[in-house]
Amino acid sequence: MARRLRAKLAGSGTFLLNLMSSPGSGKTTTILATIEALRDQVRIGVLEADIDSKVDAELLAARGIAALQLRTGGFCHLDASMVEKGLDGMLLDELDAVIIENVGNLVCPAEFDTGAINNAMILSVPEGDDKPLKYPLMFSVCDVLLINKVDYMELSDFNMDALRERVSKLNPRIEIFEVSAKTGQGMEAWCAWLSAQIKDFTERGT
């Protein structure tokens, strides 16, 4: 089903990014900052996933962003079937890319193929640098790691070198960006990477 969805997306030229993280890592803030930075270049919509509530989708919609809420009804993850149903409710002809804000969890979401073109994750500084040791699969399946809330570094004993070494052992090909979605630090490099991925996929897909 995930392969079928990717083929469908290639046909429409719509890039799909699966964004995963723990609750409170800054997913929604990062998405908002990313869309704002790329607003003049790329049309981006969002699939919001939560066990319940429509809080994040309503926040995005209030900012003029095409957003659709997926309530999983107890499931701690999204799969390709759920994502496809969500995408069917969006006007993909008016979008170049869709970001999935997956359920906040470092375990279940890593185990399911959503049909996305790329997987990305956020690890925030307050969570600590030991998470690759505790949740290795999540770091192994992602193409990108955003280390968010780097503006907290001075208030933390977070070891960036140790984190990078642990992640690289699990996934040597992963791209790592140190960012603060709140202050904008490092966001330019991340947005440039994403923009290039969307452009490349759109050109190849169509």
CATH number at residue 130: 3.40.50.300
Decide if 205 is inside a domain.
no
Domain with 79, as residue range(s), is 2-200
pLDDT of residue 36: 95
pLDDT tens-place string over residues 75-110: 677 899 999 999 999 998 899 999 999 998 999 999
Higher pLDDT: 60 or 44? It is 44
> CA-CA distance, 63 to 84, in Å (whole number)?
24
Six-digit token string for 165: 């070494």
pLDDT digits (tens, 9 = 90+) for 130-149: 999 999 999 999 999 999 99
Q: Tell me whether residue 52 is in a domain.
A: yes
In the chain, pLDDT over 90 holds for what percent of residues? 78
Asked if the structure places residue 206 within a domain, the reply is no
The Cα–Cα gap between 117 and 50 comes to 21
Query: Does some domain include residue 162?
Result: yes
CA triple 75-57-62, angle to 5 deg: 170
Residue 111 included in any domain: yes
Plot region of 43 (φ>0 → left; ψ -120 to 50 → alpha; else → beta): beta
* Number of domains the chain contains: 1
The pLDDT value given to residue 141 = 97
Residue 159 domain-assigned?
A: yes
Beta bridge partners of 148: 124
Q: Higher confidence at residue 49 or residue 14?
A: 14
Cα distance from N-terminal residue to C-terminal residue, the chain: 21
